[in-house]
Structure 1
Amino acid sequence: MKNNIIDVLKKVGAILINDHFVYTSGKHGDLYINKDFLYPHAKETSYVGMMFAEKFKGKKIEVVVAPAVGGAILCTWTAHHLSRLDGKEVLSVYTEKDKGTTASAAESEQIFRRGYDKYVKGKKVLVIEDLTTTGISVKKTVEATKKAGGIIVAVCVMVNRNPQNVNSKLFGAPFYALGEFPAKAYEENVCPLCKRGIPINTIVGHGKKYLENNKK
């Protein structure tokens, strides 16, 4: 299965290499998994949701929670397939950044809006996410879920890019990944790509915002 998810992402052209990217965490690196290339493909997105669901069928999950935006799409498909596999309705809700979608994970908290917190209170919850490098977004989603009264059964990501540091200990809950694709992430002041003068990609990732902020 771990190779399977990478094959799916390669099929839709979501794995980008040998460039200079700024990640959601604000760190830099030369590999980027553009999850947005997955979501236009409904068949493949549904299949990834099935992969999550197969992993947690029979675990009595009542609600699937994920951080928006991409995670919201995946949690809907995951809940759909879990409902079918477990023979009961599994709900799907998402958290959002309190400072807007363009804010980095580090400078934002994940919160429930639209009254979604009432759906997780007292329920057994599976928290999922598409990608993680530092685990910040997922950790804050777990914290928001606990604050809303949800019972965390497990945390699972589509791809873990930092298996050495992103683990069960970080989240305080059982943690799993459908696949691993290790990628080094550097702080700006020690980024070898910056030192070599390699231009930052402004099409994918957070490079455009990073450059705009540096002009101020």
Structure 2
Amino acid sequence: MARLDRVKNLTGLVELYGKNPRLQELVNLVVVCGDHGNPSKDKEEQAEFKKMFDLIEQYNLNGHVRWISAQMNRVRNAELYRYICDTKGAFVQPAFYEAFGLTVIEAMTCGLPTFATAYGGPAEIIVNGVSGYHIDPYQGDKASALLVEFFEKCQVDPSHWTKISQGGLQRIEEYTWKLYSERLMTLTGVYGFWKYVSNLERRETRRYLEMLYALKYRTMASTVPLAVEGDSASK
């Protein structure tokens, strides 16, 4: 449930699903994005539309994939989450990067076991293996294998689905209030300090930015994988 642009990687989700026959045996795939009735003027979205149709045809996914236009009605979205939850499904957020992850919060709030990108906000929201699962969008084969493992385990032991569902609900209760407020207060403090240093001389401001980069962002940037040549998910 996202925009149909490259960074959201919805076509990557369809591709990893199409490449895994066992996953197709276990579950169907519902994708919510784009607008079928209103052709996009954005070239990137046009390319993703074409790629989506091509993948569905290439892997013969008719009957396995339901592609629904993006929904603007919040009540309808909530009902869709609940329907998938009632049928013991799961939610997958495969973005190459997600700053926060509102749909992850929504899905977990509805009790859906959630698989989400390991790059960005969802990695902080989900405790891997307890309240959901982290997936690497650059490694579609491993992501699909993790989904297969989950659904096969749920077939053998239905309580496993409930365990992850309950873990997600508990995590959201903790995250959306206590942890979120703590991080908000931290950001407020950082913003206040930034307003202070922004009034200093340019040389001092530059030193502050270099310190922030060296202590925080250089380490974060080093964890982001480079695109692997030949990996279809990174093209």
Normalising by structure 2, what TM-score?
0.36
Structure with the largest fraction of helix: 2
Structure with the largest fraction of strand: 1
Higher RCO (CA 8 Å, separation ≥ 6 residues): 1
**Higher Cα radius of gyration:** 2
